[in-house]
């Protein structure tokens, strides 16, 4: 019986091709938007969470003020100092600590002068081990910084590319001038995916401090908890130690201590809000499509009033008529959902290819799972059924005599 309903529905949709396609436009656009947003969002989320996993769950970050996401975002004028570094290092449960600095500065290459961040990195083996596990900096070509390097520099991928930071990209062997001092380029990093990171340059931590006169300061500390300990509890111990070292009361902290797990949870919360907001906007198109289906089904009821009368005259029940029109409306929505899923998947793949080509890395990766496609089609089927409920109820309530008199 159900198969007969669907067969009848497809027959009617095929009979009214132009109206069917015009009705489905809203559903197609809405589902395409939802599928592309969810697939790209999930792909981006997978990449970011993968980076958090690479960092390891045993890492703790210490920053000045309320800064969370890198250079230029801090709200405190009080930097971290060597005293803070030592306090963190002596905290129970901490196995290793690494500190870094970043300073916005003019960088000159040939006749061009631009502003970018100069990053000071620790070059001793223990610190680099902690730091490298927290950051996704990988050498593309040339050589990396090593302990003892002084007036040499490693540059981000955008500094090496033409028309990114400079008109002609810098390469190993070239000289960059920072704060009046010449540095020789020795290596180029792989693209990180963030333009700000890719435009940065990297030098020895001690050299950076000497260059800018910040010899007792850090802009960020990375700490590694000892194996087997609860990282959250160790982070709390770090807070207590720093409060004592800085003579601060609880709640008056002028520093921020976060674990990678906490940063991950913050990212998930923010990302979910943004993604659902975008999905909500896309859903408006689906609602518009639903209204279109309702309008089409009302028209269909009027056109087939005489047919409804005949069906009732030969024994069709009100429930049969109701089911007939509800399934037809649902089928109309489902067909639109199939078209939207195909279009949305295609758009997501295009964005993935374009972003990979532009960034040189897979940051936006389409995640087109079977559950997403099936869910989109089922959702559009339900939207169609709901939209067709009132017209179907009207059709079912027609009296056979009145329906047979309809012209």
pLDDT of residue 267: 81
Least confident window among 140-154, 177-191, 239-253, 255-269: 255-269
Instruction: State the pLDDT at residue 6.
Output: 73
Q: Which of 136, 155, 133 is nearest to 144 (CA)?
A: 155
Distances (CA, A) of 219 to 56, 70, 74, 129, 335: 21, 9, 9, 18, 56
Q: Is the pLDDT of residue 126 over 50?
A: yes
Q: Among 79-93, 205-219, 229-243, 392-406, where is mean pLDDT lowest?
A: 392-406
The predicted model gives 155-182 an average pLDDT of 94
Interatomic CA distance for residues 29 and 284, integer angstroms = 10
Q: Say whether pLDDT at 68 is over 60.
A: no
In the block, tokens 């056109």 appear at: 303
* CA torsion, ordered 137, 140, 146, 150, to nearest 10 deg: -100
* Residue 213 DSSP symbol: T
Model pTM greater than 0.85?
A: no
Specify the pLDDT at position 363.
Answer: 66
Under the banding of pLDDT at 50, 70 and 90, the label for residue 142 is: very high
Mean pLDDT, to the nearest integer, of 224-244? 92
174-188, 248-262, 387-401: least confident range: 387-401
Q: Is a pLDDT exceeding 80 seen at residue 355? A: no
Tell me the angle at which helices 318-359 and 17-55 cross, rounded to the nearest 10 degrees: 50
Query: Mean of the pLDDT values across residues 76-97?
Result: 87
* Mean per-residue pLDDT of the chain: 84
Strand, coil or helix: 129? helix
pLDDT for the residue numbered 71: 46
Q: For the segment 39-59, what is each residue's pLDDT rounded down to a tens digit?
A: 888 888 877 777 676 667 788
68 in the Ramachandran plot: left (φ > 0), alpha (ψ -120 to 50) or beta? alpha
Q: How confident is the model at residue 27 (pLDDT cuts 50, 70, 90)?
A: confident
Least confidently predicted of 62-71, 301-310, 341-350, 353-362? 62-71
SS3 105: strand
Contact predicate 67/76, CB 8 Å: yes
Name which of 137, 141, 157, 139 is nearest 198 in CA terms.
157
Q: What is the mean pLDDT of residues 281-288?
A: 81
Whole-number Å distance between alpha carbons of 403 and 268 = 57
Residue 70's pLDDT band (cuts 50, 70, 90): very low
More confident residue, 90 or 314: 90
**Which among 380, 269, 343, 371 is positioned nearest to 23, based on CA atoms?**
380
Nearest to 375 by CA among 35, 19, 84: 35
pLDDT of residue 212: 93
Q: Tell me whether strands 181-189 and 80-81 are parallel, antiparallel or unpaired.
A: unpaired
Query: How many other CB atoms are found less than 10 A from the CB of residue 65?
Result: 17
Give the phi and the psi of residue 200 in degrees, each rounded to 5.
-85, 165
pLDDT above 90: percentage of residues in the chain: 35
In angstroms, the CA 323 to CA 317 distance is: 10
Q: How confident is the model at residue 200 (pLDDT cuts 50, 70, 90)?
A: very high
The stretch 137-152 carries a mean pLDDT of 91
Pair 360, 156: CB distance under 8 Å: no
Of residues 198, 230, 204, 187, the one with CA closest to residue 92: 230
**What is the pLDDT at residue 110?**
92
- CB count within 10 Å of CB 91 equals 21
Q: Is the pLDDT of residue 118 over 70?
A: yes
The whole-number pLDDT of residue 243 equals 93
Question: Would the CA dihedral through 126, 129, 135, 138 be positive or negative?
Answer: positive
Percent of the chain with pLDDT over 70: 91
pLDDT at 69 over 50: no
- Contact (CB, 8 A) for 29 and 342: no
Higher pLDDT among residues 13 and 287, named by residue: 287
Instruction: Report pLDDT for 75.
Output: 43
Higher confidence at residue 159 or residue 56? 159
The answer on pLDDT for 73 being more than 50 is no
Q: Which two tokens stand for residue 359?
A: 């960034």
Report CA torsion sign: 49, 53, 58, 63.
Answer: negative
């Amino acid at each position: 019986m159900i198969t007969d309903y669907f067969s009848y529905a497809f027959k009617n949709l095929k009979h009214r091709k132009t109206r069917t396609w015009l009705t489905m436009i809203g559903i197609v656009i809405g589902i395409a938007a939802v599928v592309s947003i969810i697939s790209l969002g999930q792909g981006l989320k997978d990449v970011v969470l993968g980076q958090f996993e690479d960092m390891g769950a045993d890492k703790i970050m210490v920053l000045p003020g309320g800064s969370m996401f890198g250079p230029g975002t801090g709200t405190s004028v009080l930097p971290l100092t060597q005293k803070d570094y030592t306090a963190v290092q002596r905290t129970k449960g901490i196995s290793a600590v690494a500190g870094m600095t970043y300073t916005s500065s003019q960088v000159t290459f040939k006749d061009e002068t631009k502003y970018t961040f100069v990053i000071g990195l620790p070059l001793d083996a223990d610190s680099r081990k902690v730091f490298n596990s927290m950051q996704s900096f990988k050498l593309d070509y040339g050589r990396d910084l090593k302990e003892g390097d002084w007036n040499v520099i490693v540059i981000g991928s955008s500094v090496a590319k033409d028309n990114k930071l400079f008109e002609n990209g810098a390469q190993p062997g070239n000289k960059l001038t920072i704060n009046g001092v010449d540095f020789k380029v020795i290596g180029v990093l792989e693209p990180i995916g963030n333009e700000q990171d890719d435009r940065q340059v990297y030098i020895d931590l001690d050299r950076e401090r000497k260059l800018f006169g910040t010899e007792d300061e850090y802009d960020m500390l990375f700490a590694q908890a000892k194996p087997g300990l609860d990282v959250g509890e160790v982070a709390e111990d770090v807070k207590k130690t720093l409060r004592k070292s800085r003579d601060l009361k609880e709640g008056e902290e002028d520093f921020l201590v976060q674990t990678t797990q906490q940063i991950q949870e913050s990212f998930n919360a923010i990302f979910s809000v943004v993604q659902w907001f975008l999905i909500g906007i896309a859903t408006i198109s689906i609602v518009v499509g639903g209204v279109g289906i309702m309008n089409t089904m009302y028209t269909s009821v009027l056109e087939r009033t005489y047919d409804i009368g005949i069906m009732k005259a030969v024994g069709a029940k009100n429930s049969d008529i109701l089911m007939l029109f509800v399934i037809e409306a649902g089928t109309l929505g489902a067909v639109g959902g199939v078209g939207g899923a195909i279009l949305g998947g295609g758009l997501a793949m295009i964005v993935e290819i374009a972003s990979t080509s532009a960034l040189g890395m897979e940051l936006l990766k389409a995640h087109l799972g079977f559950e997403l496609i099936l869910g989109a089609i089922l959702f559009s089927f339900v939207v169609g059924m709901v939209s067709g409920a009132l017209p179907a109820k009207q059709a079912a309530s027609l009296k056979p005599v009145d329906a047979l008199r309809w012209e």
